[in-house]
Amino acid sequence: MNKISKIESIIEQIQTPCYVCEEALLEENLKLLAYVGEQSGAKVLLALKGFAFSALAPLVSKYLKGCTCSGLHEAKFAKEYFGGEIHTYSPAFKEEDIEEVIALSHHLVFNSFAQLQKFKTKAFGKCSLGLRLNPEVSSSPVDIYNPCGLYSRLGITKEQFLPEELEGIEGLHFHALCEQDVDALEEVLKGFEEKFGEYIPQMKWINFGGGHHITREDYDVQKLIELIKNFKAKYGVEVYIEPGEAVGWQSGPLVVSVLDVVKNGMDIAILDSSAEAHMPDTLAMPYRASIRGAGEAGEKAYTYRLGGNTCLAGDIMGDYSFDAPLRAGDKLIFEDMIHYTIVKNTTFNGIKLPDLAVLRKDGTYEVTSKFGYEEYRRRN
């Protein structure tokens, strides 16, 4: 893929902080995901938890088969904005939500046999029912994103599996990957088949979950297509994959402004944004976000620690260097900030939520959601 960002062409128009999704870049991702679907025969869903951007739902729906949802609210959002199938899985469904969830969902996936027993009668005949299984194989890079880690609550282990209670179950689901390539999927599938392979032929579908980094430049797309085709041929089942991150991957930045520069042993720039509230994975995972045109500390002439506009001492994006000194009013472009950011934002410290905007393919810039005090007031 040849991803060329055009953000600089409209930078003057951007009121910060703002997430700007570049429609053309998103569409490149969607085309590749649709290609995987066409060539492999798998159905590709969007995992809403990673990328929920209503203004772009029509574009997503043009290429993907529907949404995978984590519960009632995402299922409602999928119904309101997207077309296609709605698949809902939750670690545990609540009694008060279940009827609405059933009415909205095409597939309903339970995390335990107890939940299945509790809601089976209500759901039977209305949704295609499935179980999330834990293949207990995962090379997920960090513990907080390892669904197969020690004592994981996500999915039924082989030890807890009750083959005698599979009546009415049409599908099996696993989710074991995080930003991983197809070799990791191959390993997980091996474990899944070793543990649960004998039950696959009686199913209509198998859902391979998310975490497939399909739109990353070095991902082996062809190998994924072959792997899915072989699996489908071997078992005669429908295969689903449900990436979130791969949909929004490198499809746009968070644009912020420098508010002030202070000194305490080094130069520190305070931004009108927050690592804690607007880019939480940089602290949770953690990882270093890249900034367009900036280098590592000391690499360029002017080094700054970049910090958020909150009282949290650790609200730090990192140390970066620039060719020119930073001044109040300068804009910075934090790359690849569309997935797992907007969906995780908070109004901690009353900080303004970044607006959402789209840079359309024809070059027009459209602010699609504006946020202010109201968001803070409603939530507190």
Residue 175 interacts with ligand PLP (CB under 6 A): yes or no:
yes
* Whole-number Å distance between alpha carbons of 4 and 292: 13
Toward ligand PLP, which CB reaches closer, 211 or 307? Answer: 211
Neighbours of 200 (CB within 10 A): 17
Among 74, 181, 242, 281, binds ligand PLP (CB under 6 A): 242
Binding pattern for the stretch 192-231 against ligand PLP, x by CB under 6 A and - elsewhere: -----------------xxx--------------------
Instruction: Decide: residue 204, CB within 10 A, 0-12 exposed, 13-18 middle, 19+ buried.
Output: middle
Residue 244 interacts with ligand PLP (CB under 6 A): yes or no:
yes
Toward ligand PLP, which CB reaches closer, 43 or 175? Answer: 175
On the CB side of 249, CA atoms within 13 Å amount to 25
Residue 37 interacts with ligand PLP (CB under 6 A): yes or no:
no
Residue 47 interacts with ligand PLP (CB under 6 A): yes or no:
yes
Cβ atoms of residues 255 and 332 within 8 Å: yes
Residue (of 203, 177, 201) closest to 189 by Cα position: 177
Say how many residues touch ligand PLP, by CB under 6 A.
15
Binding pattern for the stretch 120-159 against ligand PLP, x by CB under 6 A and - elsewhere: ----------------------------------------
Toward ligand PLP, which CB reaches closer, 246 or 271? Answer: 246
Q: How far, CA to CA in Å, does 104 sit from each of 65, 71, 210? A: 15, 10, 21
Tell me whether the omega of the peptide bond preceding residue 243 falls within 30 degrees of 0, making it cis.
Answer: no
Residue 178 interacts with ligand PLP (CB under 6 A): yes or no:
yes
Cβ atoms of residues 348 and 318 within 8 Å: no
Stretch binding ligand PLP (CB under 6 A), from 186-194, 236-244, 264-272, 346-354: 236-244
* Whole-number Å distance between alpha carbons of 368 and 366: 6
* Whole-number Å distance between alpha carbons of 75 and 85: 10
Residue 22 interacts with ligand PLP (CB under 6 A): yes or no:
no
Tell me the backbone φ, ψ of residue 339, rounded to 5 degrees: -95, 145
Binding positions for ligand PLP, 96-125, rule CB under 6 A: none
Residue 65 interacts with ligand PLP (CB under 6 A): yes or no:
no
Give 8's contacts (C-beta < 8 A, 6+ positions apart). Answer: none
Among 19, 89, 231, 322, binds ligand PLP (CB under 6 A): 89
Cβ 209 to ligand PLP shortest distance, Å:
5
**Contact residues: ligand PLP, CB under 6 A:** 47, 49-50, 68, 89, 175, 178, 209-211, 242-246
